[in-house]
Every structure is written in structure tokens, then in C-alpha cells.
Structure 1
Amino acid sequence: MPSRTRLLMSFALAALSATLGACNKDPEIPAPVDGGTGTDEFICETRDSKACIGGVHHRCEPIGEVGLKVVTEDCDLENLLCVVEGGCLVCSPKGQGCDPDGNVATCNDDGSAWIVDKECPPEDGLVCHKGRCVDPCEVADDLRSYVGCEFFTADLDNASLDSGADASAQQYAVVVSNPNPVAAEVVVEINEGAPGAAPKVKELMRVQVGPGDLEVFELPRREVDGSSSNEQCLGPEDTCPVGEQCFCSGPMDNPFCTCRLSMATDGKNDGTHSALTAQAFRVTSNWPIVAYQFNPLENVGVFSNDASLLLPTSALGTAYTVVSWPQTIAN
């Protein structure tokens, strides 16, 4: 037999031997089985593997003798709590917290029900939070969202045209909504003192806002940059806001008098545009509310306007980015 033929046969026999060897492995030791993921996040490493991922409970069930498959249950969809060892439960066994009715409660041993420990009556100004009866404004402080109990709002600059159109003189307002199951008492105040001096707080309005209701507070002109208030006054001896005087024009027997910074101004956007003032309004409530400012409130044809969701003091930080726009057609 030629040497080349013998060489080829040797390679063939070696390959056959390797194949037979692979087939003759001990049949009592099964080859590894891919358990499968079932999802992109959970793998059945053993039949006891369990996890809660995004409110969905994951566990493993056998497939045949050696395989495993992922079984899921969406606890969020059932409005239940995902507990790794228990699945979708009403609550975490033996845990303490707040039941759906807003009471301080302890979960029973199997997680199927809450046992009430203490009631937190809303009519007494209490809510359940983290297993305690607390003031609702304390909850707002803890959550740091746009729902809160104290806000500061400011009458910002709007345009005033020489032709007489004065967007800055349109009605400024704050609108609050009450998402709570009881009425909220909302108070609007101003500081009549000078910036940096001891506050001289004056209450402007106090309103009971019903549950699920809203209230519109139409506020006096009080531009944050210190522009003239243009409040009507009776004469030079009349009292005006800090820094202003009463100036009159028109016939002496029937003058028209307003509070302005000086006689030389017409009272339209005559402030410094950037200023340190005490011109803000303070809005407080005994229950967390949502607040918006509208400047102006109602003027569909206005050419200069502002509408903003207000953040409560409980949600404020220390660093912000301010976006501005160049002045164009008006003062």
C-alpha cells in the first residue's frame, strides 16, 4: 500500500476513534443543559432561583428531567408587592408600614393582609408615612416633589409698548390645586419690609380649598424688579409701597393719582430689571398642594406672557441654570 494511502487511513481511523469515544461517555452523567433566561434579566441558575425585577416576580420550574424555565408574575399589574421568597403579596410578612386606608399597620405572617396598629385621621391633620402618623407637610418635605406646603412666586417682567399696549399691567395670578381628601387652608402673604431688614409680613388672602378642587388667587401688581406698582392713591400724602410716592396728573379738581418710583416715569417697567427686592409672594398651606403662576392670567391675544409650575421650598436645591432671552420689541 502506498505510504500516502496509509497516512490517510491513519487519519480516518483516528477520527473514528475520537467519535466513538465521545459516544461512549458514561450515560449516567448528562451533558450541561442551558436553563434559558426567559427574560433578558433573569437566569435560572438553579431550580430555587428567585428574584423581583421591576415589580415582576421571577422563579424557576423544571422542564423534563434536567431543564429549567422562567415563570413570571407581574405584581405591579395586580397592585401587589413583589417579595422574593413569597411572590406577589399584599405586604412583606411581619413588616410595618401603612395600609391602603392610611393606617399604621403590621403585615401578618404570610403577607396576605395588614393588621391595623393605629389610625391616622386626615381630619386631625395626620397621614401615615413610613409606618408613622405624621403631619402631611412632613411627607412633602421628605418626598421633595412639586407637591408641597410652601411656595414663593414672583410677578416677572412682561413687555410694555410705547403704543400703549402694556402686557406688564395684565392680571397676575397664582392657581393652586388640592389633591388631598380634605380641605386645605391656603394663605398668601407679602413682605412690606425692605430687603435684608426685619420682615413686615402682611396677609393678603386666606382661602379654604376643597378636596380635589382648585382656587385662583388674583394678586396685585408687584413686579419683582421693583417697577412701580401703579396702585391708585388719593394724593401726595397717601401711603404707597416702600420706595414709591403718590403722583397725580389730570385736572386739579379730579386728578388721577398712582404710586410710582418717580414723577419722571410712567410706571411701566421702570424698575432695574435685575434687582434684589422683597417683592415675592409667599403661598403656604396646611396640606400639600400644587401651585402654578400665570402672568397674565387671561389674555389670549397677549404678546408677552408666562406660565410656570412652581416648586415648593421643600424641593429646592442650591444650583440652577437660568435661561434668558434678548430684549426685542418692547421695554
Structure 2
Amino acid sequence: MRFLFLGGFLLLACGEMTSESVDPCGAGEIRVEDQCLPVVCQASTRLCLDVVEYEICNDFGTNRTRSTCSEDEICYEGTCVVSDCLPGQQRCNETGHRERCARDGRFETDPCPTGQGCRQDEQGVRCEAQICSPGSTRCEDRPDRDPSLQRCAASGTEWEDVRCNVALSEICLEIDGVSGCHRPFCDPGDRGCFDEHTIGLCNGSRNGWDAEQSCDREAGQVCAGGRCVRQCELEIGNTSYMGCEFFAAELGNLTTLGHEQHPYALVVANPMDGSVTVDVTYKAHAGSAPAFAEMISNRQVTPPGVVLHSEVRDAQRQVVPGQGQLSGPIDDVVIPSGGTATLLIMVNGDRFNVGPTALNGRGTGLDYRGLRLLSSRPVVVYQFNPLCCNTNASNDASLLLPVSGLGRRYHAFAGPSWPFGGNYYPGTVTLVGTQDETRVDLYFDHAPNHTLILDRQGMPVPDGEGWATVMLQQFQTLNLESGNLGDLTGLRVETDKPVGVFGGAVCSQLPFGSRACDHLEEQLLPDETWGRRYVGAPFHRRNPQSTRETGYFRLIAGEDGAQITYDPPIDQLLAASVEAGIPYGVGSPIPACIDFLQGSTLVLGPHENCEFNTQIGFVAEAEQRFAMVHFMSGQESTGLAAHAGDPAMMVVAPMDQYRAEYMFLTPSTYHVDYVNVVGPEGMGIELDGHPVAEMPCTDRDDPNEAPCLLQDWQAFGRSGQGSLILRVDEGPHVIESTQGDRFGIMVYAFDSHVSYAYPGGLDLIKY
């Protein structure tokens, strides 16, 4: 009982204490841990003091704690938030509009007034008047430098520089009304086409052409590649021996042995599908207008019974009805597809080559003896001087180059002057003008070899440094003839407009002093078309037992000289030569290549030339471009009495200019015609659609067995190059590789005391 009472008392005492307790803190205070503290803030709140500082009120409201937001934060509504900016800050955005930073640290658009854009620089952010359309471009001219590209800023208030890619040669150009970084469309002085019929000159902005010269529409000319060409030339593609405009010239030849009755001829072959028309014009003198040359209808030559005609034949080599004995002006002569036209030339009722000089040449001087041939579509053209026959005893032929393939720089090849009976027959270099007012600079640098016969007017004597200058007109020829024991090889020709250049000799012997002489000629390649690799392929050996029958090769270096190597090595070539490779034989004025050898390399200085002979084929190669010509030895070198030919001259085509297909022509006026195919050993070849491997000759000496394969592929050293020889019949032919490989061809013929040789064709790509 006593314990129950005590418990009840205790409970009663506690109840009395709770009911009587009172908070002792006054107003605005709060009791915290038996202390009365003043309330200074709203409990558990945060308050921004400025942009980055804030204070935190504790849970009782009795204390404030200051703090600062982290570096990338600001205080917003009492909380630190990640910010883009500081409130009140301004900027111009990428679209050129003004923005202002709001209290939350985010930019908001604050647009400028209409017509103004946001400008921001070291002076700050402001609205300015727009001066250009945002994003537009312009080319800003700068003194002494190419224009620079500028782009209007997004705000439209300023132009900003844009760097073009200098490594790509870019400059600022305006094209189609828009300026940008481009490689120049052209360079100062370049020519192109302003429109279809107008040559253009590169304008000052280098972004197009200014009209400079109109083409002759009546002559069918259009603008192509910065020059006026006939429409038909556009069908050709790459510049080659096929063309639409040619300039020819009958070169000096013997006037004995009835030469006057043996006519000069142009022979034209049509390689196109469909017919072509051809006309030939000349100019009698400086004051005359061009006139049509006339054809000789027929001409009887020695021996009696041989009659030549101006005629047109079809692809089957049959005379086209009504075109068997043509006469009159050479005006729109029609040649069928695959056909040929033989044009015996007269001017003013006589042979084009009027009258001999005392030396059976024309002397050095100017004359109007050029012929211009125009065709409606691309053709192949040859000149034969004369066309027939062996009784003339002085013949050669040239593959004519179209005007599109001519150049402004040449190094001449010629035959040496040959003494005969107390007199001599000169070597010749003949230039033909293709345009009026053509400046010609000639450099004679090998005195005394470069002596001239100065017996005609119009040719100045070279000055003390070896230069002579002549003005040449269209149709005009400048004929240069070497003096006694002279040689014009190496003569340099530099012109301001394209010209044709022929090299050769009135009549020359090979070897020197060995009977008989023969006319030499070939149209020469401009320096721009030279190559670095050549194949020297022997002509068909007329008499394999002869030790004197050989080929003579003359080489010329350009302004960089040439270090030429051979395969087989040149010592092997000279071991297979006549008289240790002496050019033209003992007594000739031509430099011998053996004198330029350094070990097994032929080293020619700038513009130097030399010659050697050999009986075997070879490949000649150099890092520098050079040129090479091949001469055929005369009949006496063979030991044969008949049908063995006499000297001829042929330009060797660079390997760079080989083609995969050729159309070529062989005349009917020689005893036997041949074609050498030169290229990768063993390549497949078709002649007129027939594989040559399937047409071997059964008789080496029967000229009537043609066409046939006379000699299969013969390799030259380890070069992988070689040649095969075909005996061919008269008329036009097409020869091609079966796999599209590129190769070269040599076309030539033998008869008693006469021959001809020319490259069957080539590209004329300029480097």
C-alpha cells in the first residue's frame, strides 16, 4: 500500500509543473537551447545580395551566412545557377542581332532598330547602320597584290577578310556575279574564246575574256583554244598529222635530167566517214589577192608511155567516174571516204617551180611560193617532189603538218652542200608564212658551216652576234641555202606567229662523195613537240651482204642540252657502222657524235648537233627533250645496180607522239614501197583489217608480192622496243594495233637512183 501511494504522489507533482510553465523570450525572439535569440531573417531562406553573393538564413531565423557562387554561376532568386553571362551584359550573336543578358544568366534578344545591325569591337557593343547585305561577298582590290575576298558580317555593318587557299593558288574572283576564292580563270596575256567566233584576251580581273579578235566566218572559222580555226579542225581531237589547213612549198631540186617535165604534186587522203572537199590557193606577189592553183590534167614523163594525171580515187583505189583527168582550179575537189586525190600543181599556167638558178636552187631570199590547202573535214596531206619517176634521179617526199600542229620555235635539220663538177648543190631550210606580218628571227651559230648564198633580195646579212630578222607574209617563203661545204643544221628559228619549216638539200650524197645524189626534204617538227625517247629503226636492208649500206642519224639538243644514252650501248652501234660512224663520210662538214661521247653517254651542249651511222636498231633516251632525223644511204652503198634507191630524209617521231592507228599512203610511181612498224616488241598489228602475222612474204625480192610481212619483230637491245617491216602495195592504207598500243610507222620506197621517206603520221601534242 505504501508503494502505491508514493507513485500516485509523483504523478500528481509532474502534472502540476507542466501546466504552470511559461516561454520567457520576448517578442521578436526565439528560444534556442535555453537562450532567447533575436529573429533577424526568415528561417531556412536564401537571399541574393548581388550577382554572385548570397546569404542563407539558418533554420531558426537567428543568423545570416554570406557565400559566393562558383566561377561559372550567378545568384538568381537566392540560388546559384550556371550562367551564360552576367546580367546586363550585351553581345552581338552569330546572326548579327543584339542580345542582353537577363537576371537568370541567359541571353535574350534585344533587337536593334530597323536598318541597323549589331556591331561589337573593342569599343563595346552598339547598333550601327547596315552597309552591306549579310553574307554577301566582294573582291577588294589591293595595291601590288591580287584582290582579297571579303564577306559582309552577319550584322551587315562591316566587311570581314576571308583568307583564300594560297597553296591552291586561289585568289578572289567574281564569277556569275558572286565573289569567292577560286583558282584564276586565266592569267594576264592568256587567250581563249570570248564567244564562238571571237578570240578573247584574259581580262584584268582574271575571271574571263575580253573580246580581242573576230574570226573569219566566211572562211568557216570558229574560236577554239584561243585561236581561229576552221570548224572541221574541231573533229580532230588531239592535235595530230590530220588537219584542215596546210601550207606546202615546192623546194629546190635538180633542173637536169628532164626535171621540168616531172611535176610536183600534193596527194590528199580522206580518213573520215563521208566525203571531204579540198581547195588549194596561192598568191602571186605582195599586192595580189589569193587565187586558186590549177591542176595539170596529164603529164607524160620519161620513160615514154608513163603518163601522170590529176585524179581522185575511191577507197578501192579505183578512179572515181568523171575525176580521172582533172584540170582547172583546185576548188572544192571532192574526195570520197577512204579515197585519195592526186593534184599535179600549176600556177599561172606553168609548173609551180619556175626556172632554176645557177646552182639548181633558188638562192637565199623571199618569194611568194607557198600553197595553202583547205579542207572541209580533216585530211592527211603529202607533197612529192616530184611525184615521178626514177628517170628524174632526184626525188623525195614530205608528210605535211597542219597549221594546228605548227609552232614558233624550231631547230633546223638540213643536208650539207655537196660539191659537184666545180660547183655544188646547197642544203636548204625553207620557211612558209601562215599569217601576215610574221616576225622571224634567225640565229646562225656555227660559222663557217652556217654560210649562206646571198644572191637574192629580202634576206639581211646576220649581225655580229649571228641574228637576222625578216618579216614574212602569208603565202611567202623564205628560202635559205648553204654555201659551199656548208650545213644549216642547228639554225634556230624563232617567230611570233606559227610558221612551217622544211629542211633538206637540192641534191645530196650519202655517204659524202658516194654516188649518186638525191633530193632531200622533210617538214620539221616544232621544238614544242620534241620527245625524250626515240627508236632508231633501220630501213629495209637492200643488200644484206653490203658493208657500206647504213642509216645516218642526226640529233639536236635544245637550250638545256641533252645527255643521251643508248640501248644497245653506243659503242655497239658504232661497231656496226661505216667508217667508225663518220657522218656523211669523210670530208663532210657535219659534227661527228663520236667527238661528243663521255663514256657511253652522248653529251650535247645547248643547241649542239651531231651525226653517226649504224646498221642496227636502237633506243635513244635523255631527261631533256631533243630531236632526231634519219637519212637513208645512197644506191652505191648497196652494191646493187638497180631499184636500190638513193638518199632520203625522214623525221623520227618521238615515242611520246605515237598513235594506235594511222592512215597513210604509198604512191604508184616507185618500184617497191615499205612500212616499218616501230613499238613494243611482239605487239599485234593489222594492215587494212588483216593481221600482218598471217601474211608472210614468200619471196624477199618480189615487189609484186604485196602486202606481206617481210621481217617479223626484231628487238633492239633490252629496251623492249623493236620493229617489223611490211612490203606494201600502192594506195591508201590503215594500220592499227589490235590491243590499242601506241606505235610509230616509217613509210619509204626504193627505185633506181631515187627514193622517198617520211613518218607515216604522229600526234603533235605540244609540251
TM-score with structure 1 length normalisation?
A: 0.42
* Bigger fraction of residues in strand: 2
Which structure exhibits the higher relative contact order, with contacts defined as CA atoms closer than 8 Å and separated by 6 or more residues? 1
Higher radius of gyration, 1 or 2:
2
TM-score with structure 2 length normalisation?
A: 0.19
